[in-house]
């Protein structure tokens, strides 16, 4: 696990100091060493977190004659098999690291090398003989890669702040991307919050030369082909074997390793699989809240006791929101998922004990675990209602209001009524939006709305929906989340939180073979009535306590609604109505005042919307307007000169 960065000028030279500055701001991603490769017009850098071949695996790594050089962030879990095959083909290795297989795979397969990889990764390969830069990102987007191009010069980095260390890249916001952020709470790929910076999408490769660039996908899930004739009991057993194997290969490490344990089904399944493959006690780490409605620690303890883990806990208090400015700095873009707060705290707790941690990310998106899947599936079954009734429903329930909490009955009824006249894709986009089009229009100033040029993040969601060819609504929801919410929100949250404390997070349920198997399971074995994760529960029955398997989903949520009415009552007003914020000209003052007043009075739950605006303002203050630091070159630096 590392932070990688680079600059290539196909018609000039690269300033070595810029490369060191890019690496230095990512030192938290890899505090063990810095590696630098410099050649004619090329600079590659890496901050390494040493996990495999700790003593000898420093990067950059080159092939035998030094004409192919790689820097990688991530892990290749099948590297031993790949290495064996490469050695049979005559390739020689100078390290025991997983990174080195990349240069030799590239020599044989070129841009199709990615088809052979099982892992999480973002890497860049410099081909000196062809003078091209080849970049790739893993299938689901576990590892990030930002890039930019201006004329003959290209840049790439694991974090957007590293790119901004070069004064040649302006700190100018992309207002269309900001509009999209308001809708979904993150900036969806391939855009970034900065006008001149882009994200490499998941499952994509990018080839850059002096003449131009070629970007394209190399993988996607197939929801059409189903294992309809396989008995449910057999599917459940095969699923458990896939999870066990995906967990086993993620246990390779030369440094201490543990697991994040929420007490939910997904993380509990990973701990159960770890216990089967581990001789000692598994170290587990959990986060909780004083609010009983948000606290899952009791269930985490059930799993810890069941598998006799070495268990550690941390309770998050309202004062934890004080880290919000740090969140803005680390994420580098506006990011509105408030569960980033406990994620940072559990990452800090974890870092005191281990360097690698497994988690349960991905289970909801493969097996229909979110409550919104149930709600949208139910709404789709009401399409038989007469169109006049569907169109009239919002007006009928409008006097009820939204309710004091996002999960309250009134809020759910109001949302369902608003969605009845929509298509299934539009309905799901509404459920995934903090600010729908009507709310955005009422919030934005005319100037901001005009500058955003009509950008609609809903179209990102509906386009993902339409790419799915399954006849089942459930599969469309899963496919949409895998393409949007998973890489844009969930994986960003975990990558940044763990890397901030130099911890590597691994996700067995995001193994592409597990996900491919899951996509082939009939939709009715994922969501049946109001029961999600049907087949996953079957696979785990008898392996996990029934109390964990059968309890309602709680989710990794934060009690923001109560905090903004009690402990942090003044925070939204202090920040969002401050002259520094209002002078930006993004938003009209009246809608913000109304949201604050309605939320305080308990007439509606605007906590997620207010947090969205707070994080946007903090991003402006802490990132966009922050002075460019001049960090000193620190740590162990290995420098390689190219031919």
**Integer Cα distance of 356 and 347 in angstroms:** 10
Of the residues 2, 23, 135, 468, which is catalytic? 2
Residue bearing tokens 């393409």: 483
Which pLDDT does position 632 carry in this prediction?
A: 44
Q: For residues 270-283, b (16+ Cβ closer than 10 Å) or e, as one string? A: bbbbbbeebeeebb
Q: Find, among 6, 30, 31, the residue nearest to 20 by Cα.
A: 6
Q: What tokens were used for 146?
A: 């930002």
SS3 annotation, 45-81: EEEECCCCCCCCCCCCEECCCCCEEEEEEEEECCHHH
23 tagged catalytic: no
For residues 475, 477, 482, 488, the Cα torsion angle rounded to the nearest 10 degrees is: 180
The answer to whether 482 touches 514, Cβ cutoff 8 Å, is no
CA angle 456, 462, 463 (to 5 degrees): 95
Give the helix/strand (H/E) hosting 340: helix 340-351
Q: Find, among 215, 155, 164, the residue nearest to 10 by Cα.
A: 155
SS3 annotation, 281-326: CCEEEEEECCCHHHCCHHHHHHHHHHCCCEEEEEECCHHHHHHHHH
Which pLDDT does position 301 carry in this prediction?
A: 96
For residue 615, give Cα distances in angstroms to 246, 456, 460, 526, 625. Answer: 35, 20, 22, 35, 14
**Integer Cα distance of 144 and 544 in angstroms:** 33
Dihedral class, residue 555 (left if φ above 0, else alpha if ψ from -120 to 50, else beta): left
Q: Find, among 60, 24, 294, the residue nearest to 159 by Cα.
A: 24
Which pLDDT does position 376 carry in this prediction?
A: 87
Which pLDDT does position 640 carry in this prediction?
A: 61
Cα dihedral sign, 588-593-594-600: positive
Domains of the chain, start order: 2-219 (3.60.20.10), 232-368+481-549 (3.40.50.620), 559-630 (no CATH)
Count of alpha carbons within 13 angstroms of residue 571, beta-carbon side: 24
**Integer Cα distance of 49 and 29 in angstroms:** 7
Cβ neighbour number for residue 373 with a 10 Å cutoff = 25
For residue 336, give Cα distances in angstroms to 185, 298, 438, 528, 623. Answer: 5, 28, 19, 31, 15
Start-to-end C-alpha separation, the chain: 27
- Indicate the angle between helix axes 175-184 and 607-619, nearest 10 degrees: 150
Query: What is the mean pLDDT, run by run of 10 residues, along the chain of 643 residues?
Result: 94 94 97 96 97 93 96 98 97 96 98 98 98 98 98 97 96 95 96 98 98 97 96 98 98 95 96 95 92 84 97 85 91 96 92 97 96 85 66 61 62 67 85 90 93 82 95 97 98 97 98 98 95 97 96 80 93 95 95 97 94 97 81 51 57
Q: What residue ranges in 316-465 does DSSP mark as E strands?
A: 356-358
């Amino acid at each position: 696990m590392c932070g990688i960065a680079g600059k290539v000028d196909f018609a000039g030279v690269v300033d070595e100091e810029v490369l060191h500055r890019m690496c230095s701001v990512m030192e938290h991603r890899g505090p063990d060493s810095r590696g630098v490769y410099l050649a004619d017009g090329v600079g590659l850098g890496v901050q390494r977190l040493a996990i495999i071949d700790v003593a000898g695996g420093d990067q950059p790594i080159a092939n035998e004659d030094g004409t192919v050089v790689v820097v990688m962030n991530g892990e290749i879990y099948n590297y031993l098999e790949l290495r064996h095959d490469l050695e049979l083909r005559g390739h020689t290795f100078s390290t025991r690291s997983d990174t080195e297989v990349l240069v030799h795979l590239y020599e044989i397969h070129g841009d199709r090398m990615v088809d052979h990889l099982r892992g999480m990764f973002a890497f860049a390969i410099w081909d000196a003989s062809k003078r091209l830069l080849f970049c790739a990102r893993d299938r689901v987007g576990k590892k990030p890669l930002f890039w930019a191009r201006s004329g003959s010069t290209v840049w790439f980095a694991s974090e957007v702040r590293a790119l901004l260390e070069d004064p040649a890249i302006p700190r100018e916001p992309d207002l269309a991307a900001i509009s999209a952020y308001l809708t979904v709470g993150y900036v969806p790929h391939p855009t970034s919050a900065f006008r001149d910076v882009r994200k490499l999408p998941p499952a994509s490769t990018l080839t850059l030369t002096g003449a131009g660039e070629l970007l394209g996908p190399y993988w996607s899930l197939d929801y059409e082909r189903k294992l309809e004739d396989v008995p449910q009991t057999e599917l459940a057993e095969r699923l458990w074997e896939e999870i066990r194997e995906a967990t086993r290969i993620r246990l390779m490490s030369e440094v201490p390793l543990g697991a994040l344990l929420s007490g939910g089904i997904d993380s509990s399944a990973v701990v159960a699989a770890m216990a089967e493959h581990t001789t000692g006690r598994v170290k587990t780490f959990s986060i909780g809240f004083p609010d009983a409605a948000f606290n899952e620690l009791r269930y985490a303890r059930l799993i810890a006791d069941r598998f006799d883990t070495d268990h550690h806990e941390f309770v998050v208090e309202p004062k934890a929101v004080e880290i919000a400015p740090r969140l803005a700095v680390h994420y580098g873009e506006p990011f509105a998922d408030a569960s980033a707060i406990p994620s940072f705290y559990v990452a800090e707790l974890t870092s005191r004990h281990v360097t690698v941690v497994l988690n349960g990310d991905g289970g909801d998106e493969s097996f229909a675990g979110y409550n919104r899947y149930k709600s949208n599936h139910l709404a789709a079954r009401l399409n038989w209602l007469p169109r006049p009734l569907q169109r009239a429903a919002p007006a009928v329930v409008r006097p009820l209001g939204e309710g004091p909490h996002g999960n309250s009955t009134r809020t759910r009824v109001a949302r369902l009524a608003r969605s009845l006249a929509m298509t299934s894709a539009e309905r799901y986009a509404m459920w995934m939006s903090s600010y729908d089009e009507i709310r955005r229009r009422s919030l934005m100033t005319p100037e901001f709305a005009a500058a955003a040029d009509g950008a609609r993040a809903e179209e990102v969601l509906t386009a993902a929906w339409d790419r799915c060819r399954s006849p089942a609504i459930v599969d469309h929801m899963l496919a949409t989340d895998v393409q949007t919410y998973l890489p844009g929100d969930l994986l960003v949250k975990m990558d940044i939180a763990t890397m901030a404390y130099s911890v590597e997070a691994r996700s067995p349920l995001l193994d592409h073979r597990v996900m491919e198997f899951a996509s082939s399971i009939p939709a009715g074995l994922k969501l049946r009535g109001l029961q999600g994760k049907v087949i996953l529960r079957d696979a785990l029955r008898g392996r996990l306590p029934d109390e964990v398997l059968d309890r309602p989903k709680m989710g990794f949520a934060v009690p923001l609604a109560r905090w903004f009415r009690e402990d942090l009552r003044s925070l939204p007003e202090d920040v969002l109505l401050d002259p520094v914020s209002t002078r930006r000209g993004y938003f009209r003052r009246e809608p913000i005042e109304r949201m604050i007043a309605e939320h305080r009075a308990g007439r509606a739950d605007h906590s997620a919307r207010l947090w969205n605006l707070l994080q946007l303002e903090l991003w402006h203050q802490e990132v966009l307007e922050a002075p460019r630091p001049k960090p000193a070159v620190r740590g162990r630096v290995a420098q390689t000169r190219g031919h």
